[in-house]
Amino acid sequence: MKSNRVMWILVSIVVFATVSFSVTALHSQEVLCQAQDKSAQEKQARDEFESQFPVAEYSPSEDNNAQMRSLRAAKNKRYDKTRLVSSGIPTDPFSIVARSDHGELPYGALPIDKSSAVIKGQILDAKAYLSNNKLGIYSEFTVRVDEVIKTDNSTKLAQGEEVTIDREGGMVHYPNGNKRLYFVAGKEMPRVNKQYILFLTNDETSPNYQILTGYEIKEDIVSPLDGAQQFKTHKGKSITEFVKTVRDKISDASPTVPKN
């Protein structure tokens, strides 16, 4: 009788230990899976972020066309003084350099008064280039103009034409095979094949227009391109409502002609 009781106690201990081990193993497996899922999600988010930046060759082949070389040099000149790009060649296979522009932006969520043009358009392609001194980098986009919302006397845009625009930042591919991403924190790039409302400036330092800010159009809803707080004001608005707001502000900003 006593031996049976001892046997049952031993069996109970073994069962309890086995169950406890199984629960611990299942919990450990669950934690591991959650960590793997989080890691995968973080990698996906990182890859998605990095994919918006076109790649510039640090030592590109020279264009044989003298006119095209001259035009590219004129576009590059705008970014000669930005000094975003490191002068040395990186030793890591991949690295990131971000510049933070401290202080508030000198324009609001709808920078109409700062814009030479406001357009609705689709991004057709994207490339990146270094400045003439290789200390600056910018991404250049070809945009098909679907609608001209605002233009001034110095910018004559028409529906259906293609224009080139640019913004500071991009990926550099170095001769040793390494890559380095350079960007300005809070300022993202428009994506190829997507539609945007774009606020553009033309300071005559480059043949290109330059992006002040923009709003992506997705399923007739707008979402800000940039991350500063003021741009979130219009997030989630319908494209119809958003364009009306922009047009109303343009109308309010237009000088009135006195009646005789």
Q: How far is CA 116 from CA 65, 124, 173, 213, 251, in A?
A: 30, 21, 33, 12, 15
As given in the structure block, the two tokens for residue 41 are 């999600």
Render pLDDT for 9-53 as a digit per residue (tens, 0 to 9).
444 544 444 545 454 555 666 666 666 666 777 777 788 888 999
In sequence order, what are the residues at sequence separation of 6 or more whose Cβ sits closer than 8 angstroms to the Cβ of residue 209? 116, 117, 155, 163, 164, 165, 166, 200, 201, 202
The band of 62, judged by pLDDT with boundaries at 50, 70 and 90, is confident
Of the candidate ranges 25-39, 106-120, 184-198, the one whose mean pLDDT is the lowest? 25-39
Question: Tokens 């508030």, residue?
Answer: 104
Question: Tokens 């044989």, residue?
Answer: 64
Mean pLDDT score across all residues of the chain = 86
With a threshold of 0.85, does the pTM exceed it?
Answer: no
In sequence order, what are the residues at sequence separation of 6 or more whose Cβ sits closer than 8 angstroms to the Cβ of residue 69? 62, 63
pLDDT for 33: 65
Residue 1 has pLDDT above 90, yes or no: no
